Amino acid sequence: MNCKVCGNPLAEDEKFCNNCGTPVAVKRAGKAPADSEKKAAPKVALEKDDKDDFHRRADRFGSLVVKERKSSLLAGVDFKYLSYALIIGILIIFLIVVAIYERKRTTAQMDGFKVTLPSSMRSVDDHSFEVHNSLKCKAYSNSVMEFTYIKYDASTMLPALATEPEDNDIDGLNEYYAAKNELSKLDETFIDELDEIFAEKLKEYKVVSKSRGKLIFTYNDNVMVDNYVEMHVLVDDETVYQFSMLCSDEQRKKHSKTFDEVFKSIKMDSGVTIKR
């Protein structure tokens, strides 16, 4: 073995070079490390250095907490079908609200009587059934039906009632009392008059039934809809009331109960009632 500095030969047990004094490296007893171990050592050290570097960086920004991300409840939902369901739900709620509103009723004081009508009805301008100059003609309608009342002075139909004659006017008195007698039957004779006028005035007019104080008929209006009408005439002293309910002919059965409720609800201020 020679000195690594000056090349001077060295004995095995020498610790320093006799020529230059350089310390001699002493070999450790034991088996020399295998090549695989020599190669693995740097890798382990590198991995350790990487981990230490990671922790050093983590400490600079604060400790890291890793949380497991839970899946959303809507993760598997198709939003296309969800939107359809939402629209259907809104439509159902709307129909329920409309149905409840349509069933709601309101009692109103009119000119000489009270009547209970669907709350959805609103005032409209309709003089279709007015046949004489009236004291008042009012109509109330919603999307499915219409209520109309017309108020006449009886003298419009029986002119002799307009003025009560003097006691010495025999002819005038005869006419006046004859008109008074006619007044007692006006709910019947006026129905006949309405029937004749509507037959000429209304398109495709057809009587369903007719009796004293009541006329039920169908006709076709200006928008080509077949309408069903139930009409009542009531004589209150010398005032004649013409009440009517209207709907499309195809829905007459559906709304017949409402028609009955409306006519039954009519209470005249005088106490006179409609004959059903």
Q: What is the mean pLDDT of the chain?
A: 83
pLDDT band (50, 70, 90) for residue 22? confident
Mean pLDDT, residues 212-236 taken together? 93
Asked if the model's pLDDT at residue 12 lies above 60, the reply is yes
Instruction: Give just the sign of the alpha carbon dihedral 7, 13, 15, 16.
Output: negative
Is 108-268 a CATH 3.40.1000.10 domain? yes
Per-residue tokens: 14: 């020498």
pLDDT tens for 158-207 read 999 988 888 888 888 999 999 999 999 999 999 999 999 999 999 999 99
Note the pLDDT of residue 70.
Answer: 59
Contact of 112 with 236, CB cutoff 8 Å: yes
State the virtual CA torsion across 177, 178, 181, 182 in degrees, nearest 10: -140
Task: Please tell me the predicted confidence (pLDDT) of residue 198.
Answer: 97
Residues 6+ apart with CB under 8 A from 252: 228
Map the chain to HEC letters.
CECCCCCCECCCCCCECCCCCCECCCCCCCCCCCHHHHHHHHHHHHHHHHHHHHHHHHHHHCCCCCCCCCCCCCCCCCHHHHHHHHHHHHHHHHHHHHHHHHHCEEEEECCCEEEEEECCCEEECCCCCCCCCCCEEEEEECCCEEEEEEEEEHHHCCHHHCCCCCCCCHHHHHHHHHHHHHHHCHHHHHHHHHHHHHHHHCEEEEEEEEECCEEEEEEECCCCCEEEEEEEEEEECCEEEEEEEEEEHHHHHHHHHHHHHHHHHCEECCCCCCCC
**Structure tokens that stand for 144 in this block:** 């499915």
Range 150-155 average pLDDT? 96
Nearest to 235 by CA among 270, 192, 194, 183: 183
How would residue 60 be classed by pLDDT, with cut points 50, 70 and 90? low
Residue predicted with more confidence, 13 or 37: 13
Q: By percentage, how much of the chain surpasses pLDDT 70?
A: 77
Look at residues 245, 237, 238 and name the one whose alpha carbon lies nearest to residue 276: 245
Tokens of 141: 């309608």
Per-residue pLDDT, averaged over 212-226, amounts to 90
Query: What pLDDT does residue 17 have?
Result: 80
Per-residue model confidence (pLDDT) at position 172: 86
Residue 102 in this model has a pLDDT that exceeds 80: no
pLDDT of residue 15: 77
What pLDDT is attached to residue 90? Answer: 85
Instruction: Summarize pLDDT for 109-143 with one digit per residue, the tens.
Output: 999 999 999 999 999 999 999 999 999 999 999 99
Q: Where are the domains of the chain?
A: 1-28, 31-61, 108-268
Q: How many CB atoms lie within 10 A of CB 258?
A: 19
* pLDDT (0 to 100) of residue 55: 63
